[in-house]
Chain A
């Protein structure tokens, strides 16, 4: 398909806008997650989202409405259990991730009828994003970017050194909780579009690329957002040009940009 014809199809334009919003969200939030060694939280939450989608399909509730609250609950579970239990964060993410997938597969097996619907969430489809989901993404992007701009300096202090930030009176718990909720909502919103398997790549790859080249924190956030949006745009163009799956093309584009960032490493 010629690129010029791309904009004649409203569903393609919607996919492009949804993908761009998701990229912005995942790009900036990914920087916080990667720096705090919570990269894989996206993967764990995506798997919970998979289980939640199965639950929604089982009870005939629109899956998005089930996956949003359950993903947020799972995010807090991961975070709090890290404090309480004598288990490292990566192990807790692994536990939650496995339980999410196992729950989804068990529900699908018991219900015996919606396997195709459920498994379409594994790889996602940007073209299937509904108008309501697009509005939610736009709202979430506005809230997230507003939050990061407004709290930029306390967030910097927190991300740089949490102990000193607490001693400076930074509202560490509040900022951590909001970041956690925004990350969980981003994952829940992104799962349908890019799929369970690929959502964490959107969170990690642009942030990892930005951290190779950025000379300060502001640059890291902006670069991650640009790399994420570029990954979506170039990935979609590649998908349409060569008739490839959109999610996988976006991730591979992100990976190529990451390789390029290694060349321009600071």
Chain B
């Protein structure tokens, strides 16, 4: 399978404070990777660095075979950030936000592509609504539609389900699963390790350094997980995972 991203010996620091240290891994087409770790482990810094949003202290990042410093094919990547930086006064309609994900097409053409996505995410009736008037969960779905309309080869999601209710979460993950089956690589940052067991195929566990990289089942029965989660949480998460994959 073709390599989408190659991260080699990557370190990120803010002054004296190290966020990520000597991390290496690869992302291949069709991967579905969960990136987890304790608070302040460097998860968000790592994915932001992959998007050119954080300066690297050491190491290198290659995307689609090109060094990040010269990478220009951003239309192959989509990002759903953890925190949205939009202004609540911003007068953007839902359709304007979704089509802003696809700048290579004219607005009308992008709007045509947006319709099935909006329908799938139960947003069809809201397309002319103001984005700022929507609930947190609806806004999150609009931003997912903005990411998916790009038809990216790599989708990076940072804590994507915090504002979603259980029914919408299932729909959200079903959509991701289908996109992944069609070949889209997904990297999902989450503090909910059980979600990774349920939906992703492999896990990167980060605590400044990369503690674990591999299938979730392997992590589940490791001493590393016991050390981080304790016996009870390990049992709960792993039992659920084993039951689901039995």
* B44 shortest CB reach to chain A, Å: 11
Interface residues of A in 197-249 (CB under 8 A from B): 210-211, 214-220
Q: Is A160's CB under 8 angstroms from B86's CB?
A: yes
Q: A161-B84, A168-B79, A217-B91 provided; 19 other pairs, C-beta below 8 A? A: A153-B100, A156-B92, A157-B100, A157-B103, A160-B86, A160-B92, A160-B100, A164-B81, A164-B146, A166-B52, A167-B51, A167-B52, A167-B77, A167-B79, A168-B78, A170-B103, A215-B93, A215-B130, A219-B91
A219 neighbours in B (Cβ, 8 Å): 91
**Which B residues between 210 and 243 are near A, CB-CB below 8 angstroms?**
none
- Kindly state the separation between the CA atoms of A211 and B90 in the bound complex, as whole angstroms: 8
11 sampled A-B residue pairs with Cβ under 8 A? A37-B87, A153-B99, A154-B103, A166-B53, A167-B81, A168-B101, A168-B150, A214-B91, A217-B96, A219-B91, A266-B130
Shortest 3 CB-CB contacts between residues of A and residues of B: A169-B74, A167-B79, A214-B91
Which residues on the B side are within 8 Å of A163 (C-beta)? 53, 81, 85
The verdict on A167 contacting B100 (CB below 8 Å), with A161-B86, A215-B91, A219-B91 known, is: no
| B122 sits at the interface (CB 8 A) | no
Shortest distance between the CB of A65 and any CB in chain B (Å): 36
B residues whose Cβ falls under 8 Å from a Cβ of A = 51-53, 72, 74-75, 77-79, 81, 84-87, 89-93, 96-97, 99-101, 103, 107, 128, 130, 146, 150
The answer to whether A220 touches B53 (Cβ under 8 A) is no
**Given contacts A153-B103, A266-B130, is CB(A167)–CB(B74) below 8 Å?**
yes
A23 and B51 alpha carbons, distance in the complex (Å): 39
A168 cross-chain contacts in B, Cβ below 8 A: 74-75, 78-79, 101, 103, 150
> Could you tell me if A169 and B89 are in contact, using CB atoms closer than 8 angstroms?
no
The answer on a CB contact under 8 Å between B74 and A156 is no
Q: Are B91 and A220 in contact (CB under 8 A)?
A: yes
Using a Cβ–Cβ cut-off of 8 Å, how many residues does chain A contribute to the interface with B?
Answer: 28
Inter-chain CA distance A211–B88, complex, in Å, is: 11
Q: Which residues of A contact B146 (CB under 8 A)?
A: 164
Cα–Cα distance between A167 and B93 once the two chains are bound (Å)? 21
**Does A159 count as interface, using CB distance less than 8 angstroms?**
yes
The answer, yes or no, to whether A133 is at the interface (CB within 8 Å) is no
Residues of B within 8 A of A157 (CB): 100, 103
Q: How far is the CB of B158 from chain A (nearest CB, A)?
A: 11
Closest Cβ of chain A to B191, distance in Å, is 20
Residue A216 contacts which of B53, B77, B81, B92 (CB distance < 8 angstroms)? Answer: B92
> Smallest CB-CB separation from A221: which chain B residue?
B91
Known: A153-B103, A154-B103, A215-B93. A169 touches B75 (CB 8 A): yes
Smallest CB separation, B61 vs chain A (Å):
14
B contact residues around A153 at 8 Å (CB): 99-100, 103, 107
Q: Does A90 contact B (CB under 8 A)?
A: no
Residue of A153, A159, A219 with highest tally of chain B CB at under 10 A: A153
Contacts A153-B100, A167-B53, A170-B103 hold; do A160 and B90 have CB atoms under 8 A apart?
yes
Q: Which residues of A sit under 8 angstroms from B91, Cβ to Cβ?
A: 210-211, 214-217, 219-220, 266
* Closest chain B residue, CB of each to CB of A169: B74
A170 to B100, CA, bound (A): 11
CB neighbours (8 Å) of B81 from chain A are 161, 163-164, 167
Q: Which residues of B contact A160 (CB under 8 A)?
A: 86, 90, 92, 97, 100
Smallest CB–CB gap between B93 and chain A, Å?
A: 4
B93: chain A residues at CB < 8 Å are: 215-217
Q: In the complex, which of the residues A37, A216, A217 has the most CB atoms of chain B within 10 Å of its own CB atom? A: A216
Are B79 and A164 interface neighbours, CB within 8 A?
yes
Min C-beta distance of A150 to chain B, whole Å = 12
A157 → B minimal CB distance (Å):
5
**Among A154, A164, A216, residue most surrounded by chain B Cβ atoms (within 10 Å):** A164
State A36–B90 Cα separation when bound (angstroms). Answer: 9
CB within 8 Å for A161 and B85 given contacts A153-B107, A168-B103, A217-B91: yes
Among A35, A164, A169, A215, which residue has its beta carbon within 8 angstroms of that of B72?
Answer: A169
- Bound form: Cα–Cα A3–B150 in Å: 55
Q: Tell me the minimal C-beta distance from A33 to chain B in angstroms.
A: 12
